[in-house]
Amino acid sequence: MSVRHAMLALLSEGPKYGLQLRAEFEARTGEVWPLNVGQVYTTLQRLERDGLVESDGAGEAGPQKGFLITAEGERELARWLRTPPDLSSPPRDELVMKVLVARHVPSADVHAVIQAHRRYLVELMQQWTRIKEDDTGSDLGMLLAVDAELFRLDSVVRWLDAAEARVRRAAADGAMTWADQASPQNPTRAPLPRHRREARLRG
């Protein structure tokens, strides 16, 4: 999450003080991502150094110091809003790793591992959904942030469902993946997809 750009977005509405920026940031993001005040002032100092904001005084950053966005800051904000974050490389997801590894641990039941994660995720989703129970008068930013979290957790549950179905099918078919086929006696593997080969070369 870019606090830097979130600050620029808040300043695009008009000049503001640091404490005000912190309060508005938390309110707009549904208080899902709290900020400490030091982080706000450090960010503002860097934005000022880079010419993206200006302050109304030369003193130390503090509650009485106001900030406003510069024309360069406006351009940077517009560029950031339209630039998709880099999602091209799969993150090294701990949950995914645990399920992949569990398949090869003799004492582990991969279905039990999957279910433990599924239950935890659904319990978390129940907590998030409680926030939506009475959304009349709730802050729109909070509802959007809650929905985002619910969709994210839901996608992981769906992956667990699909993974479980795939593991069961593979067990029933006695099928082996390209990774399973590789062994010291049989080092041949199916080729990696092209983009992964290139990424590996670059890395």
Partner 1 sequence: MSMLELREVSKSYGQGSAEVQALREVSLSAAEGEMVAVMGPSGSGKSTLLTIAGTLEGPTTGEVLIAGQPVSTASRGAKARLRRRVIGYVFQDFNLLPGLTAAENVSLPLELDGLSARKARLAGLRALDRLGLGERAGHYPDQLSGGERQRVAIARAMVGERRLLLADEPSGALDSVNAQAVMRLLHAACKDGRMAAVVVTHDAQLASWADRVVFLRDGRVTDQTAPAPGPESLLTPELNQ
Q: Please count the other Cβ atoms lying within 10 Å of the Cβ belonging to residue 64.
A: 12
Site string for partner 1, 28-47 (x = CB under 8 A): ---xxxxxx--x--------
Binding span for partner 1 by CB under 8 A among 56-64, 65-73, 145-153, 195-203: 145-153
- Check: CB of residue 154 under 8 Å from CB of residue 125: yes
User: Contact with partner 1 (CB under 8 A): which of 75, 158, 169, 195?
Assistant: 158
User: Contact with partner 1 (CB under 8 A): which of 46, 119, 166, 169?
Assistant: 119
**Does 127 participate in binding partner 1 (rule CB under 8 A)?**
yes
Alpha-carbon Rg of the chain, whole angstroms?
24
Binding span for partner 1 by CB under 8 A among 81-89, 148-156, 175-183, 185-193: 148-156
User: Contact with partner 1 (CB under 8 A): which of 19, 45, 68, 128?
Assistant: 128
**Coil, helix or strand at residue 8:** helix
**Coil, helix or strand at residue 85:** coil
Say how far apart CA 110 and CA 154 lie, in whole Å.
Answer: 20
Binding span for partner 1 by CB under 8 A among 78-86, 88-96, 157-165, 182-190: 157-165
**Identity of the residue numbered 173:** D
Name the phi and psi angles at 69, rounded to 5: -80, 145
Contacts of 176 (CB under 8 A, 6+ apart): 170
**Does 152 participate in binding partner 1 (rule CB under 8 A)?**
no
Q: Rule CB under 8 A: which residues touch partner 1?
A: 3, 31-36, 39, 115, 118-119, 121-133, 150-151, 153-154, 157-158, 161, 164-165
